[in-house]
Amino acid sequence: MSFAASVLTLYPEMFPGALGLSLAGRALEAGTWSLEAIQIRDFAADRHRTVDDTPAGGGAGMVMRADVLAKAIDHASPPGDKRPRLLMSPRGKPLTQARVRELAAGSGAVILCGRFEGVDQRVIEARGLEEVSIGDFILSGGEPAALVLLDAVVRLLPGVMGNAVSGEEESFENGLLEHPHYTRPQEFEGRPIPEVLISGNHKKIAEWRHAEAEKLTRERRPDLLGGTPQPLVK
């Protein structure tokens, strides 16, 4: 079973973009996942192919029309399509590694990319769109957010990452930020690699990494320690 992504956008040329390269690009070529970028404008009814209009109640900017978006969504996701319908939105639930894992375990996603001031509230309700945010900042459009979400999902698909273990020890996977990394040379500008890492003592190394991960998490993201982190060392 492969992961099927359908992205609704005013800028289909932005896809696959960065996802056409490296791990995601190879997986796309191999058929591990598929991507269709659908031009929302193709579902506009008038000859100017209008997709937006002025906000009801007044104010700056434009709003994407519910009727046009509904047609595009119904085309991408006909009745019976079990894939979640996501709307990239700064008002959405912040994306987490847990949600990314859930998505990667499913059959795909239909992703609507907003532009302008956003989309008419009625299509969000009528089509059951799940609003997803990639952080507390405002992008000019949902496309970069969709690329971020898909990048995070695709790397978890079976066979995409060479070394499966590295996925499980990553930041957030065990409720902690990851420990620091080192590689050759042994000494860089007077800074040696911490001795324990060249000791060959795997138990000590695991303990050191866990302690570093905890320290880093306490310093930078104490919010992550509110839950019950899984121990890194088995």
Q: For ligand SAH, which stretch binds (CB under 6 A), given 113-121, 180-188, 202-210, 214-222?
A: 113-121
Question: Among candidates 144, 8, 20, which has minimal Cα distance to 65?
Answer: 8
Task: For residues 115 and 9, give the distance between their C-alpha atoms in angstroms, rounded to a whole number.
Answer: 9
Q: Count residues contacting ligand SAH (CB under 6 A)?
A: 18
Does 86 interact with ligand SAH (rule: CB under 6 A)? Answer: no
Is residue 20 annotated as involved in ligand binding? no
Any idea of the CA torsion for 17, 23, 26, 29, to the nearest 10 degrees? -60
Q: What is the SS3 assignment for 59?
A: coil
Q: How far is the CB of 27 from ligand SAH (least distance, A)?
A: 23
Does 127 interact with ligand SAH (rule: CB under 6 A)? Answer: no
Task: For residues 119 and 110, give the distance between their C-alpha atoms in angstroms, rounded to a whole number.
Answer: 16
Sign of CA dihedral 166, 171, 172, 174: positive
Query: In this chain, which of 118, 152, 153, 213 binds ligand SAH, going by CB under 6 A?
Result: 118
Give the total residue count for the chain: 234
Does 113 interact with ligand SAH (rule: CB under 6 A)? Answer: yes
Q: For ligand SAH, which stretch binds (CB under 6 A), given 17-25, 51-59, 135-143, 166-174?
A: 135-143
Does 139 interact with ligand SAH (rule: CB under 6 A)? Answer: yes
Task: Quote the tokens at residue 183.
Answer: 């590689």
Note the residues at the interface with ligand SAH (CB under 6 A).
Answer: 88-91, 113-115, 117-118, 133-135, 137-139, 141-142, 145
